[in-house]
Chain A
Amino acid sequence: MAIIIVDNKSYTVDEKQNLLAACLGHGLNVPYFCWHPAMGSVGACRQCAVKQFKDDRDQTGRLVMSCMTPATNGARISIDDPESKAFRASVIEWLMVNHPHDCPVCDEGGECHLQDMTVMTGHVYRRSRFPKRTHRNQDLGPFIRHEMNRCIQCYRCVRYYRDYAGGRDLNVFGSHDALYFGREQDGTLENEFSGNLVEICPTGVFTDKTFFHHYTRKWDLQSAQSICPHCSLGCNTTASERYGTLRRVTNRFNSQVNGYFLCDRGRFGYEYVNSDKRIKQVLIRPEGDRAKPAQPEVVPQALALAGDRLRQARGIVGIGSPRASLEANVALRSLVGPQQFYQGIDERERQLLSTILNILRTGPVPSASIHDAEQADAVLVLGPDLLNEAPRLALALLQSIRQQPMERVDELKIPQWDEAAVRNALQNRRGPLFLAGYQRTWFHAYATDSYFAAPDDVARLGFAVAGTIGQVAPSVPDLSREAKELTQRIAEALTHAQRPLIIAGTSGGSQATIEAAANVAWALHRQGKQPRLSFVLPEANSAGLALLGGGTLHDAFDSISQGKADTVIVLENDLYRRADQATVDAFFDKARTVIVIDSLEHPTAARADVLLPAATGPESDGTFVNQEGRAQRFYQVYIPQGAIAESWRWLKDLAHAQSAQTESGAGVAAWNTFDDAVSATATAAPELARVGEIAPPASFRLVGQKLPRQSERYSGRTSLLSHLTMHEPPPPVDHDSPLGFTMEGYRGSLPSPLISQFWAPGWNSIQAVNTYQDEVGGPLRDEMPGVRLLKPAVSNAPAWFTAIPRAFQPASQQWLLLPLSAVFGSDELSGRAPAIAERIVQPFLSLHPSDGARLGLEECSAIDLAWQGATYSLAVRFEPSTPVGTAGLSLVPEVSGVRVPAWINLFEAIKSEGKRRAA
């Protein structure tokens, strides 16, 4: 620690920081543009100038850029010094020479860092009387709007997009005061993390195009914490509403999880909530009349009908969901009883998840948070295609590859925040990152080595690495020379690292890759390293559901087909995505009553005899457990319209209706508030005991007050509903959380899950996050980053996994059909958002060129693939990284019913070859 003196007051700071970060950490307002806590200092904007004095006798001092000056012990600076203030105001004046005065029509207005900094410096009057330069804007695709005239040339966008996120299709062009930040030509920004430009840009050059379509000022938004439902990582978001529609999703800082950044699926996938395919009313189908469409019904009648059916049932099957909250799943389990609760996933997935949980429970190696992943100094990925399955984790690894070369930076005595110098010192040096899998993406350009092979061979590589590291772990016979050499390199890199990270996942359907990853991590642990494991799971609450337990979907099918039960409740689950159509059809045909609770129309919902409209994530309170085992709370942002209600409430109502007892039912029937749901969840499984600790209960108050979801400046409250009523209706009461649907309530430091939006005096933009941290970039004050439910075992010696698969052998007629995840398209919910839908590619079949030739196919040709009872139109792609003997199938909505991996006879399955398409 160091003591610095700022305007004659002493402050204790971390000497590894620069003066800007040190000052901001103490709440001292120093304006800045080009610096960013996650991207360091480059000294371009010159906005953060302060006066530095040599010692206490030095009265003159000199202007320094605080972002480029280390916070050394004894440093004396002044922020208030008149000269430094005047200089900072001049910097704004220069930036304003060309910045349009279009704040009233700019989407950034009201949450614009440039506005904030302008006010902070005190610059008011324009003295330049010369014309402003103008630019042509580009169409950057469905996510981002471009308005170059507003650009203040801070270079943050290109530094973020290129240097941080690995993007290559955005750059700065030109020189002097004729600079252009954009693409070479109009076109969609390709990088999967482009949406962060909206928050990175300090003004309105890059803004959220989806938000633009239903724009609302920040102060008019009602907001609350959400957990991204679109993959298993559990990134924290702020979801915001106005007039009953979800308006946008922004990043919500969580030091352990997503930090400052989201992926585009998470940021732009929210519009499924506003979809016109939402189920908005209760629909029922009279018994014995399944051919007719379901009819709307009022809620009491529908519940009465459902209650009758449930009472008459010969047994009820409850099918849970990995995309529903823990509480909703627990409610269903309570309603049907644990024996009749099924996880709603297939056997393979259940098996993989259970293996993963056991590895994390019984092994000595903990799972890695995204923050841990950023700190890893060597990484081995066995299987998953992170960019498409867990994008934010791929972004973390792009940072981790700087860890090991940072040693050189330290040797050169360059502070790590000095990004300008760090980049010059690092050049193209990258730390070890080994990617083994079967789908090539641009991410592989950052890998030390890439290994493309069938899952069994990937697993063999992993087992071999473990054997090489551990010598006691089982070794792998008959490894190819290529794999042997690679094994050596990987083992060496991992053993030279301090914080190695091993990643595997469920997507390839390979138990062996998961077990191999565990062996590697455990072998490293025995070597005294501090390894971490990370498993990429299929969905947002896959881990939570697995902790809860329960039979598989096919167990549920059996229960009905064997006549053990005749009634089905399906919770937020489209079974047609999980089993073939014939099986699911038979299942529903056989069931006497099908009750479906869900939010979006889908084939399963179409089979419901009673269809209950479920609230989506931002319309409900709930808990997700991410792939790391971290339980996190999301909150209802607004009360959904009409009959839509949270799934756990429907289940409570169903339980009531079933029991027909008035007051005190047992189990879910007795729940009244969300806290009851949380309490029940905490007792549902031993490892869930701490879910109550992840956020304050509904009774939580500060100074006796609830906490507002709306800003102080929320406007139009008295007239919001004036087209419906001349009265101002009272705000709804929230019995489920400490939050209120109002402007009124406590304002001040809050436990992090209860923060509505980041906002502080003088800091209206997302940069206000700084004011919520004691140390810039560090945890939030009162951060409750979720609770990790899984603890590594104390015992250090779990038994090695020994089921090493045999080397993959291509078959003469059969191909191993493997799933190819797509960041845009593979996730069920986000795929229903229009902006995401625009980015979904046409379904394709990926083949090694030699296999393509063997099948007599031409590249880019169109084929019909008949399989598992359906026919799919696919484009053929030749891809050298696709392992020979396998075929990749893109998981986009058109093929969502396909169950892979599976062996397929392509000679038979390919029915017709269309005309050769234009490339």
Chain B
Amino acid sequence: MLSEIERRELEDAVKHYPDKRGAAIDALLTVQRHRGWISDESLLDIARFLEITAEDLDGVATFYNLVFRKPVGRHVAFVCDSISCWIKGCEQVQERIKNLYEVDLGQTTADGRLTVLPIACLGHCERAPAMMIDQDVYGEVVPEKLESIMDKYK
């Protein structure tokens, strides 16, 4: 069941498109903002709201990498692995995360605090290597700085 807030936000989103299905991606991201990820149940909730089938919606949901069809941690760290960040050592950043939090790319820490995902170029190439935690972007993330950044995300 969609919550009252979710329903209101979805109704707002739909207004931007000539047909309901146009809001499919907005709807997925909206509900994901509230629930962290899109479970099968959430998928059905949204599909019902948009008057489409679960298959219709999941075809879209699974296409886009920012829609999570598996549970994620309380925070999601997106480590840019594109070329400018690779040149500047994003692999060392990944390695450092792995050592610090015992989590590989695509995994969530045992305590549910953090999911680490690779991400395409974040558009902060002049400050490579870059990473985004939840919605905050960090540039020049040298491995030594990681811990102090991560401290903000408990």
Q: Do chains A and B touch in the complex (CB under 8 A)?
A: yes
Given the interface contacts A185-B40, A428-B19, does A173 sit within 8 Å of B58 by beta carbon?
A: yes
Q: Which residues of A contact B62 (CB under 8 A)?
A: 173-175, 180
Q: Contact at B40–A169, with CB atoms within 8 Å?
A: no
> Is A900 among interface residues, defined by CB-CB distance under 8 A?
no
A154-187 at interface with B (beta carbon < 8 Å): 168-175, 180, 183-185
Least CB separation from B43: chain A residue: A184
Q: Contact at A168–B19, with CB atoms within 8 Å?
A: no
Q: How far is the CB of A192 from chain B (nearest CB, A)?
A: 16
**Chain B window 49-63, contacts with chain A (Cβ cutoff 8 Å), 1 for yes, 0 for no:** 000111110110011
Given the interface contacts A185-B40, A428-B19, does A168 sit within 8 Å of B63 by beta carbon?
A: no
Q: Contact at A184–B55, with CB atoms within 8 Å?
A: yes
B58 partner, pick from A171, A175, A428, beta carbons under 8 A: A171
Q: Which residues of A contact B56 (CB under 8 A)?
A: 168, 171
Least CB separation from B57: chain A residue: A184
B63 partner, pick from A169, A174, A183, A428, beta carbons under 8 A: A174
Q: Which residues of B contact A171 (CB under 8 A)?
A: 55-56, 58-59
Least CB separation from A169: chain B residue: B55
Q: Which residues of B contact A184 (CB under 8 A)?
A: 40, 43, 53-55, 58
Q: Which residues of A contact B54 (CB under 8 A)?
A: 169, 184-185
B96-126 at interface with A (beta carbon < 8 Å): none
**Chain A window 81-125, contacts with chain B (Cβ cutoff 8 Å), 1 for yes, 0 for no:** 000000000000000000000000000000000000000000000
A173 partner, pick from B52, B53, B59, beta carbons under 8 A: B59
Q: Which residues of A contact B59 (CB under 8 A)?
A: 171-173
Least CB separation from A175: chain B residue: B63
B23-57 at interface with A (beta carbon < 8 Å): 40, 43, 52-56
Q: Contact at B19–A183, with CB atoms within 8 Å?
A: no
Q: How far is the CB of A36 from chain B (nearest CB, A)?
A: 20
What's the Cα separation between A173 and B59 when bound, in Å? 5
Interface size on A, residues (CB 8 A): 13
Q: How far is the CB of A138 from chain B (nearest CB, A)?
A: 12
**Chain B window 77-98, contacts with chain A (Cβ cutoff 8 Å), 1 for yes, 0 for no:** 0000000000000000000000
What's the Cα separation between A173 and B62 when bound, in Å? 6
What's the Cα separation between A175 and B19 when bound, in Å? 24
What's the Cα separation between A712 and B59 when bound, in Å? 44
A427-460 at interface with B (beta carbon < 8 Å): 428
Q: Contact at A169–B58, with CB atoms within 8 Å?
A: no
What's the Cα separation between A185 and B47 when bound, in Å? 14
Least CB separation from B53: chain A residue: A168
Q: Which residues of B contact A185 (CB under 8 A)?
A: 40, 54
What's the Cα separation between A184 and B40 when bound, in Å? 9
Q: Which residues of A contact B53 (CB under 8 A)?
A: 168-169, 184
What's the Cα separation between A173 and B19 when bound, in Å? 22
Least CB separation from B61: chain A residue: A173
Least CB separation from A183: chain B residue: B55
What's the Cα separation between A171 and B19 when bound, in Å? 20
Least CB separation from B59: chain A residue: A171
Q: Contact at A170–B55, with CB atoms within 8 Å?
A: yes
What's the Cα separation between A170 and B62 when bound, in Å? 14
Least CB separation from A445: chain B residue: B51
What's the Cα separation between A428 and B52 when bound, in Å? 14
What's the Cα separation between A180 and B69 when bound, in Å? 14
Q: Which residues of B contact A170 (CB under 8 A)?
A: 55
Among A171, A175, A428, the one with the most B-chain Cβ atoms within 10 Å of its Cβ is A171
Q: How far is the CB of A265 from chain B (nearest CB, A)?
A: 23
Q: How far is the CB of B59 from chain A (nearest CB, A)?
A: 4
What's the Cα separation between A180 and B62 when bound, in Å? 10
What's the Cα separation between A184 and B54 when bound, in Å? 6
Q: How far is the CB of A35 from chain B (nearest CB, A)?
A: 22
**Interface pairs (30), CB distance under 8 Å:** A168-B52, A168-B53, A168-B56, A169-B53, A169-B54, A169-B55, A170-B55, A171-B55, A171-B56, A171-B58, A171-B59, A172-B59, A173-B58, A173-B62, A173-B63, A174-B63, A175-B62, A175-B63, A175-B64, A180-B62, A183-B55, A184-B40, A184-B43, A184-B53, A184-B54, A184-B55, A184-B58, A185-B40, A185-B54, A428-B19
Give 14 A-B pairs besides A169-B53, A174-B63 with Cβ atoms closer than 8 angstroms: A169-B55, A170-B55, A171-B56, A171-B58, A171-B59, A173-B59, A173-B62, A173-B63, A184-B53, A184-B54, A184-B55, A185-B40, A185-B54, A428-B19
When A and B form their complex, which 8 residue pairs have the shortest distance between CB atoms, in order from nearest?
Answer: A171-B59, A171-B55, A184-B54, A173-B62, A168-B53, A175-B63, A174-B62, A184-B55
